[in-house]
Structure 1
Amino acid sequence: MGIQKDRVKFNVGGRIFETTATTLANAGRNSLFGAMFDDEWNLNSDATIIEHFIDRNPNCFSVLLDLLRTGELYLPQNLPEKLLYREALFYGLLDHVRSAKWGPFDGNRLCLARSVTGQAPGDGTAIRAGPDGGCCVAHGSMVHVYDWMMEEHPPINLDYQRVNDAGWIDSESIVLSACERLGKGDGGMGLFSASTGELRYKFNVKHENQVKSYTAGALSFSSDYKLFSSCKGRSNEYGIGVWDQVTGKQIDFFYEPPGWSLGDADKLQWLHGTNCLLVATLFPRKDNCYISLLDFRDKSMVWSWSDIGTPITDERRVRDAIAMEETSSICVVNEYEDLGFMDLRRNAGSVRWSSRSRLMKGKMPDEPCYPKLALHEGQLFSSMNDCISVFCGPDWVLTSRLRRSYGGSICDFSIGGDRLFALHSEENVFDIWETSPPPII
């Protein structure tokens, strides 16, 4: 590491700045400064200091240099925020700006940062958070993509194919699943550029060496670059397909056993610790709920549960499900936001319902947005009408609520890039929730 006498001089747009290697090292090796200097950040301590010229905005450079010195972000009133973000992108300092702008994600400290009006009122179906704090919003056959500054990129248009699900491979790549149009031979899945909307390649389904048309549904991604999707075709290619995210080639397929509905699955979740995939088909897509764990190593269903043959009431219909690996259990939610838990160590175990967290009593609205679940850094989130509840601790106690009535009920929400995005149904408005940075002492 350099010492204070290792001074560095910059000429940025005609203004002279001096700093030290110690300060520049805070930028990290992936920054422009990391590329400019040697691996050890050692600079010559001769009396003559080399002046490095950078043809960029000097006002923004001053703010970013102060950020590297203090860890604090101060934006003068006469400096546009988007201009600073553009310059931070050039220097490779966006992560530093984001971490100074808001703190690490904490569901109990989230504050509403802003609301964004969508492009198709009343037609929003899904929202997915990107890894860098951006998001994409799907409605009908259109997907609108936003970067972390909420600048909208060119939309992705699937030409009348309804989008079923979306997922981010990285900050520049989005996978979309869509319905096949009868007789058209389209549908399925594709990988798109987040910045341009360009289709990079399609994920094909092959059966007996023939490419088949299919409808792709729920998506999930694994840490070893596998992509999973529920697939429903015209013949016997029903089940869960597996593709390589990098090449787009199909590498495996799990055909559904008789009596199950893997091809219609609403929810997929890859369990990193067990190398299994959670597959859930939920009401109201099907009259009965199916939840299973698939092990692709030996093509077996290692755990399963269904409500077939059990007395079902409206209070017990499962609307969403999520696996919690740390407790070896699956959490489900009904339309009253009762949480239920199933022990994965017991095959076909019963649901242990808990009403301690119930927030709403009475019937759902005539056009309901069904509750959804998310698990993030040990906190459990559940949407209900126009609010999101946060549960913590071993007993999943309700600890806070996020509420924003503008735009109607929440039809979907997603967490990523240290942000929570909530999509409202009536006005296609989505809210952005962030954790306030710690106070400066």
Structure 2
Amino acid sequence: MPPFVESNPLSHTFNHNNIVTIDVGGTPFQTTKQTLKQAGSNSLFSTIYNNFEYNCNSIPFIDRDPEIFSILLSLLRTGNLPSKAKNFDIQDLIFEAKFYGVEQLVLNSELNPSQFMPFDLEKSVLLPLCGRNSVTSICTTDNGAVQVAHGCKITCFDWSLKRKSTILTEFAVIDSMLCLDSRMLAIGATDFSGLQILDVVDGCARKNVNWDNVTKSGSTVQAIGSSNELLFTSFESCRRNSNCIMIYDINDDFKPVSKIGHYEIFGAELDSAIPATKLRWLPSYNLLMSAGSHSGPSSVLGNIKFWDLRSGNAVWEIKENVDCFSDITVSDSLSAIFKVGVHSGEVFLADLRYIGADNAWFCLGDERKVKNGKKEGIGCKIESHGNQVFCTKGGNVELWSEVLINSKNGKFRPEDRVFRKNFMGRAKDYCGDRITHFGFGGNRMFVTRKDQQYVEVWQSSVKGF
């Protein structure tokens, strides 16, 4: 928060006891005690403030770059980096910010998710990967870092995208991966038993957890999700005759808390045979979404459930039997579920404000394609970020945004919601192989493509490195 929060921003100007003078590299700077406080108690600015309190006549000297200091001082004053910060390499700014103890302030300002501008994203950087394996999973952090699984390896790029490290795991292929914080990753595979918690800083496994099913045959990970306190893992027994969702306490060394959706499979009970392959937490509704599908001889079937963790019961179930999802996501900010149909390749919406409704889906695109018998949606991916929905079609990315309109008599119906589609990037960004994974971190979008050994970074053309 900027230091001047009073109605009169000049109220401190005439109080000479409030003015602090600092000499940086021979250049004098004057600021206020309130501005210095914005840096936090563990910063060098706090030390300057405390020294000023005891000796008002001394002028501290700091043998550092005065130009970069002026940028950091402007950040403390306004809460944002000034435009002249673009003239410096971000790495230099962070290096100086570490000296002053305000690195996190710079990161929050430069890579703040609120500065994500979806309509202005374009492909800007390629992150190369070692080896010949294609990408099998990616995950991101809020400060714009990205972790990439390829083969038995995980390559971690920090927020600057200039420093990377590679970790070898015991999995042959990593199918599921989730960032729990800037240090810990949860990883799993569909052909190797157990969930592993990795410390990416030390490059080692911190903990292994498993689900002890009835047959004691080991359990493979099908999906991973999390809330602020809990880790959710979808397990399937190695014999594929049982599945469940385990819940672990992140803050208590990943001790098991409870189990939901436990199914022992007998005979041809197809519904119970489908494990959850996607898990998403909805904080506003305090519900966990699980979704899974199964490709049969004639069509693709699936189900979507919303779980109340307190009771352990599903409060809403949608059975997919017409145009089952090729991929699915849920948006807390838009209060909706979005899917891309495996047959039509079109985007559908189900409004969460009408939980329990029958025939919940309505098509945002061309509804005539729903029953065309083809499978145009195979391989399509869909994710929500902020107030937008992103859907991949081959090598392209569609951006769906809601158009706000006035309702009649103040009553809203799901079919009254209007979304418009745009294509992202410039013409040069459209060409490329099929997109296999994508995710969002800070003000960036990360994209991987079939059979490629690199990650595309999409950023705003207005603000970037």
Q: Which residue of 1 aligns with 2:418?
A: 395
Q: Is 1:92 matched up with 2:97?
A: no
Q: Is 1:302 matched up with 2:315?
A: yes
1:401 partner letter: M
Cα contact 1:127–1:413 (8 A) shared by 2:
yes
Aligned-pair CA distance for 1:351: 3.3
Q: Which string of whole-angstrom CA distances, capped at 9 and with x for unpartnered residues, describes residues 224-269 of structure 1?
A: x101011012477621011111211111111434543577322111
Change (3 A) 1:268 1:358: farther
Q: Which residue of 2 aligns with 1:32?
A: 43
2:275 partner letter: D
* Pairing of 1:204-219 with structure 2 (within 5 A): 204-206=210-212, 213-219=218-224
Aligned-pair CA distance for 1:7: 4.3
Q: Is 1:415 matched up with 2:415?
A: no
Separation (CA, whole Å) in 2 of partners of 1:381 and 1:94: 29
1:408 partner letter: D
Q: Is 1:241 matched up with 2:246?
A: yes
Aligned-pair CA distance for 1:304: 1.5
Q: Which residue of 1 aligns with 2:449?
A: 424
SS of corresponding position for 1:195: coil
Q: Which moved more, 1:411-420 or 1:102-111?
A: 102-111
Q: Which residue of 1 aligns with 2:348?
A: 340
> Which of 76, 98, 118 is equivalent to 2:129?
118
Aligned-pair CA distance for 1:414: 0.7
Q: Which string of whole-angstrom CA distances, capped at 9 and with x for unpartnered residues, describes residues 17-60 of structure 1?
A: 5332358448542661464366xx89449661242557x66664
Separation (CA, whole Å) in 2 of partners of 1:125 and 1:157: 15
* Pairing of 1:244-323 with structure 2 (within 5 A): 244-246=249-251, 247-257=253-263, 259=269, 260-261=271-272, 264-282=275-293, 287-308=300-321, 312=322, 316-323=323-330
Q: Which moved more, 1:384-393 or 1:58-67?
A: 58-67
Q: Which string of whole-angstrom CA distances, capped at 9 and with x for unpartnered residues, describes residues 115-138 of structure 1?
A: 223334561122222111111111
2:175 partner letter: N
2:96 partner letter: E
Structure richer in helix, relative to its length: 2
Q: Which string of whole-angstrom CA distances, capped at 9 and with x for unpartnered residues, describes residues 83-127 of structure 1?
A: 332332442234435635787113123233322233345611222
> Which of 47, 60, 70 is equivalent to 1:51?
60
TM-score, structure 2 as length reference: 0.76
Separation (CA, whole Å) in 1 of partners of 2:179 and 2:395: 26
Q: Which string of whole-angstrom CA distances, capped at 9 and with x for unpartnered residues, describes residues 336-388 of structure 1?
A: 541123355335535323325999x99889xx971111222221111111221
Cα contact 1:100–1:437 (8 A) shared by 2:
no
Cα contact 2:242–2:273 (8 A) shared by 1:
no
Separation (CA, whole Å) in 2 of partners of 1:232 and 1:89: 45
Separation (CA, whole Å) in 2 of partners of 1:262 and 1:20: 66
SS of corresponding position for 1:370: coil
Q: Is 1:385 matched up with 2:394?
A: yes
* Pairing of 1:150-165 with structure 2 (within 5 A): 150-165=161-176
**Structure 1: unaligned runs, 5 residues or longer:** 182-186
TM-score, structure 1 as length reference: 0.80
Aligned-pair CA distance for 1:15: 4.9
Aligned-pair CA distance for 1:307: 3.0
Aligned-pair CA distance for 1:148: 1.0
Aligned-pair CA distance for 1:154: 2.4
**Structure 2: unaligned runs, 5 residues or longer:** 5-11, 403-416
